[in-house]
A and B are shown apart, each in its own frame.
Chain A
Amino acid sequence: MSDNLGTIVKNGLWENNVVFAQMLALCPTMAVTTSGTNGLGMGLATTAVLVVSNIIVSLIRKTVSDQVRIPVFVVIIATLVTVVDMALNAWLHELYKVLGLFIALIVVNCAILGRAEAFAVKSGVTASAVDGLAMGLGFTGALTLIGLIREFLGSGTLFAQASQLLGPGFSFLEVQVAGYGGALLMILPPGAFAVLGFLLAGKRILDDRLAARSVAATTPATA
């Protein structure tokens, strides 16, 4: 499973994207993406947990027996989530109030246990760390994108309150569309499903186009 790192990164960001390809972790995806900032914060918190849990699981993969591996992984992930939870509560309290319960629910985020089971337990430390980072960033990207679209359509803003997450230097990200009240539905759960559906359709169309182009590019070469 120790492919080259470039493939791992590409897998995490696009080919095997947690949300758009594996369709995992849909609960936080639907629930917290009411704004770009929320999506970004949730994604980064998950990334942190994912990277560290992948590293630890990879380190102990030879000592833990097959029979008890899942409880052990869960304990590791739960510990890390608790750390992130407390850290957010201490330093990013505003974001913590918004994300609330969903930080604790990173424990049951199937993407993390999924990566531990599918990748870290079979791979070396470096590969696992890169995989965790790529998967996490892919997840973050997906959440931020969904969050931005819903935020834009639903309340007419972009990255509202980003300065609370990233520090006052990032307040330039905050955009307010003048004179647009927003469609409330996009902030509500149906909006999340609709946006995710259209994005999935878009990704498939894009993949099809890319595949068709690569076929077209290789055919004359072989002919």
Chain B
Amino acid sequence: MTPFAYTAVQTVASPHAHGGNAVSRTMLRVQLALTPATAYAFWLFGWPAFFLWLITLGACLLFEFISLRLMGVPHIRRTLGDSSALLTGWLLALTLPPWAPWWVGVIGAFIAIVIGKQVFGGLGQNVFNPAMVARVALLISFPLPLTQWVTPLPLTTLAAPGFIEGLQITLAGLPPPDAMASASLLGYAKTELSRGSDLVQALAAGHAPLISWIGIRAGSLGESSALLLLAGGLFLLATGVIRWQIPLAVFAGLAIPAAIGHALDPAHYLGVIPHVLSGAAVLGAFFIATDYVTSPTTAPGQLIFGIGVGLLTWVIRTYGSYPEGMAFAVLLMNALTPIIDRYTKPRILGRTRAGKPLDIPAKKGA
């Protein structure tokens, strides 16, 4: 890097302004946006949720470190410091059942970081969203621990497990007592439908899981509070970390078919509100589908991508055998991202869409 070669490349006179943006800053903002919902989840589900979150994050960092070491990356500390692994772990932890045993977090971290990301060449090279790869792999591999939801037991209540008890739940994998086991709304609706009951009556029954904006309900660690996630998402929008296209399109893709289905046959199709507020819809729309690496780059492409995610989520939730389909929908659309990018490529300046030079008429009198 001789000074001469350096100046030869520059086309504009100095001084140069730097936007100040960096991978680590973007990641930090996303983490900041996730904090309220995560803190709320700790309060809602108690110590076990906190331990699981901590273990998943730690394991992600560890596997990232091991991978970078094996690949002989020169600046391990700096690469680790971009905190992308931390964010992957955070998102993964938020999709896990809050009382899942510790090994779920560790295996998930291995799948996310090693198989989902580093095998492809590290940050920016992966085809699929690492957190979602891990989530789906865990769900398929260990159906039982991954679908054991617990009734929220806020930390401030007496029945909540204490610090030591929480450690036992996470580390020793003590299954939650039956009284605390609970179904998420989507799971409940799926079960009731498969039993042939009418959804309207089933949801009106007293033991049906509640829908609420505030989010005191069973579910994954971080999907409970739609309100706080929404606040985080709006923060990301306001700071320009994400653009509006993907979240809006995800909600549209999910809400429009839900509204049509519910209007036609409320006994078989859940309405818009349960679809949007339950499950991972808000988390997915703002934090997961918007991953830069695995979503299209152009605005029209992002709209197509988002609608695809929302629509597939609705299709899987409604017709599939799994109650929740956000992770599958994101992965399927990740696979389509290169094609979407190819067909929404912007026109090159001075050329037609096909790539031929524009036919500019010659000047008169030339």
Contact = CB atoms under 8 A, between A and B. Distances in A.
Interface in A169-223: 181, 183-186, 188, 190, 194, 197
A197 B143 CA distance: 25
B119 interface: yes
Interface of A: 181, 183-186, 188, 190, 194, 197
A185 B115 contact: no
B128 to A, nearest CB: 11
B140 A185 contact: yes
B115 A194 contact: yes
17 contacts: A181-B142, A181-B144, A183-B107, A183-B141, A183-B142, A184-B140, A184-B141, A184-B142, A184-B143, A185-B137, A185-B140, A185-B141, A186-B141, A188-B140, A190-B137, A194-B115, A197-B119
Given A183-B107, A184-B140, A188-B140, 12 more contacts: A181-B142, A181-B144, A183-B142, A184-B141, A184-B142, A185-B137, A185-B140, A185-B141, A186-B141, A190-B137, A194-B115, A197-B119
Contacts of A197: 119
Contacts of A186: 141
A181 B140 CA distance: 13
A196 to B, nearest CB: 13
Contacts of B144: 181
A167 to B, nearest CB: 33
Interface string B103-145: 0000100000001000100000000000000000100111110
Contacts of A181: 142, 144
Nearest to A182: B141
Closest 9 pairs between A and B when the two form their complex, measured CB to CB: A183-B141, A185-B141, A185-B140, A184-B141, A185-B137, A184-B140, A194-B115, A183-B142, A188-B140
A185 B141 CA distance: 5
Interface residues of B, number: 9
Interface string B297-312: 0000000000000000
B365 to A, nearest CB: 66
A136 B144 CA distance: 40
A197 B111 CA distance: 14
Contacts of B119: 197
Contacts of B115: 194
A181 B142 CA distance: 9
Nearest to B119: A197
A128 to B, nearest CB: 39
Nearest to B107: A183
A188 B137 CA distance: 11
Contacts of A194: 115
A152 to B, nearest CB: 14
Nearest to B143: A184
Contacts of A184: 140-143
A186 B140 CA distance: 10
Contacts of B137: 185, 190
Nearest to A187: B141
A65 B264 CA distance: 70
B234 to A, nearest CB: 36
Contacts of B107: 183
Contacts of A190: 137
A6 B140 CA distance: 46
A185 B107 CA distance: 12
Contacts of A188: 140
A190 B133 CA distance: 11
Interface in B64-92: none
A181 B145 CA distance: 11
Contacts of A183: 107, 141-142
Nearest to A186: B141
Contacts of B141: 183-186
A190 B107 CA distance: 15
A186 B115 CA distance: 13
A184 B138 CA distance: 9
A185 B142 CA distance: 8
The residue in B107, B137, B142, B143 that gathers the most chain A C-beta atoms within 10 A of its C-beta is: B137
A188 B143 CA distance: 14
A190 B137 CA distance: 9
B123 to A, nearest CB: 20
B306 to A, nearest CB: 26
The residue in A186, A188, A190, A197 that gathers the most chain B C-beta atoms within 10 A of its C-beta is: A190
A188 B136 CA distance: 13
